[in-house]
Amino acid sequence: MKYLPEVFRANARWANDVCKADPDFFARLAGLQDPDYLWIGCSDSRVPANQITGMQPGEVFVHRNIANVVVHTDLNCLSVMQYAIDVLQVSHIIVCGHYGCGGVRAALEGAPLGLIDNWLRHIQDVRDRHSDFLAALPDSTARWRALCELNVLDQVRNVARTTLVGDAWKRQQPLLLHAWIYGLEDGLLQDLQGSLSRDDDVDASLAHAVAKLRGRYLKT
């Protein structure tokens, strides 16, 4: 028995359409992987990196997990980063979160869910560091949106503090980190102004980005 035949039919249609539009597309794709971007994003099925950036297969290297978390003991994420930095020589690492993130909401509310609670603890640490700010927001929706943004900025800090990025910067390898967030409601990306290009401005740059975030929400 062949399972999920509709998926195979859709795949065949897609491959046929691509070949009609560009007969050499798959030959080029098979011959070289040369992306300029590493995307660290959420596993949410509504946030596919290539589609929302308008990029083709082969143009972006992707790592995804629940709530786009970067943990210094996560060998999966670190292995992806090392390959992207050392082998593919990407110039940009993008941490992209999204509004309406279920992982962030679960971390914000703190209801027990099982094994995933251990993963969400990393986001709860972000929540706890900004508890006074979050408590000052008018409602749960605002707190949820703000924590989605704060989580992205915190994960960019974690990326910057890896030995992989630190070593790349020490050897003067061009590498720019970005903090982005995606809106499910409008399909648009926003830059959270947390970009980093060298080791000595990590804390100051991200503190400035957090201050701007707080100002937007508190209108100060």
**In one letter, which amino acid is 129?**
R
Instruction: Verify that 129 and 204 share a domain, yes or no.
Output: yes
Q: pLDDT at position 171, please? A: 96
Indicate if 148 belongs to the active site: no
Instruction: Verify that 2 and 44 share a domain, yes or no.
Output: no
Q: pLDDT at position 220, please? A: 56
Instruction: Verify that 26 and 91 share a domain, yes or no.
Output: no
Q: pLDDT at position 200, please? A: 80
Indicate if 42 belongs to the active site: yes
Number of structural domains the chain divides into: 2
Q: pLDDT at position 31, please? A: 82
Residues of the chain under the 70 pLDDT cut? 1, 220
Distance CA 119, CA 142 (A): 23
Q: Which of 9, 46, 198, 208 is catalytic?
A: 46
pTM of the model: 0.95
Indicate if 101 belongs to the active site: yes
Range of the domain at 21: 1-32
Structure tokens at 218: 């508190």
Instruction: Verify that 104 and 3 share a domain, yes or no.
Output: no
Distances (CA, A) of 101 to 17, 43, 88, 135: 33, 10, 30, 19
Instruction: Verify that 90 and 107 share a domain, yes or no.
Output: yes
Instruction: Verify that 154 and 102 share a domain, yes or no.
Output: yes
Distance CA 132, CA 139 (A): 14
Q: What is the pLDDT of residues 37-88, one digit of tens each?
A: 999 999 999 999 999 999 999 999 999 999 999 999 999 999 999 999 999 9
219: left (phi over 0), alpha (psi -120 to 50) or beta: left
CATH at 98: 3.40.1050.10
Instruction: Verify that 18 and 63 share a domain, yes or no.
Output: no
172: left (phi over 0), alpha (psi -120 to 50) or beta: left
| DSSP three-state, residue 118 | helix
Instruction: Verify that 6 and 88 share a domain, yes or no.
Output: no
